[in-house]
Amino acid sequence: MRARNPGPPKRTKLVAIKNFDEELYRLVKAYASLEDRTIASIVEEALRRWMESRSDYEEVRMWTRLEREYEENLRALVEAIGESPDEYERGYALVCNGRVVGVFESYEEAIEKSRSACRSHGLVVELPYREGAEEVELGFPW
């Protein structure tokens, strides 16, 4: 039997939790030892089950995926501007898959290119880029 492709390594993060129930932590630690698992794997399993029980799980999952790609694309643009600011003085920058695809004369050209260049997220930014989010009045909570 062939070994399955393990895929890219999972990205992990150090998380410290304040005010966690001490007795619960002792129990989890004991189970982790009994089952030869890490505490992190047990907490991950519990959190995944909890999230799957939420009615809006799919929506939140899609949102966080978009968030990650948006942040990667925005970071790539800011880095590119830092390296060669003269190239980003006017027009519309298109950023996909963590890299700047190009700078286009018009918004229409940029979004036309996004159809072929962007897989799951594309960022079109009017230049010159200004940091800080625009404010929009939303009225009452919808």
- The residue within the footprint of other proteins, chosen from 59, 79, 89, 105 (CB under 8 A), is 59
Q: Mapping DSSP to helix (H, G, I), strand (E, B) and coil, where does residue 104 land?
A: strand
Check binding of 14 to other proteins (CB under 8 A).
no
Q: For the chain, give the number of residues.
A: 142
Check binding of 79 to other proteins (CB under 8 A).
no
Can you say whether the dihedral through the CA atoms of 55, 119, 70, 98 is positive or negative? Answer: positive
Check binding of 60 to other proteins (CB under 8 A).
yes
Calpha distance 88→94 (Å, rounded): 11
Check binding of 123 to other proteins (CB under 8 A).
yes
Calpha distance 120→11 (Å, rounded): 20
CB of 129 to other proteins, least distance (A): 8
Q: In this complex, which beta carbon is closest to other proteins, that of residue 47 or of residue 60?
A: 60
Check binding of 82 to other proteins (CB under 8 A).
no
Per-residue binding letters, 29-48, with other proteins (x by CB under 8 A): --------------------
The closest alpha carbon to 120, from 79, 76, 78, 66, belongs to 66
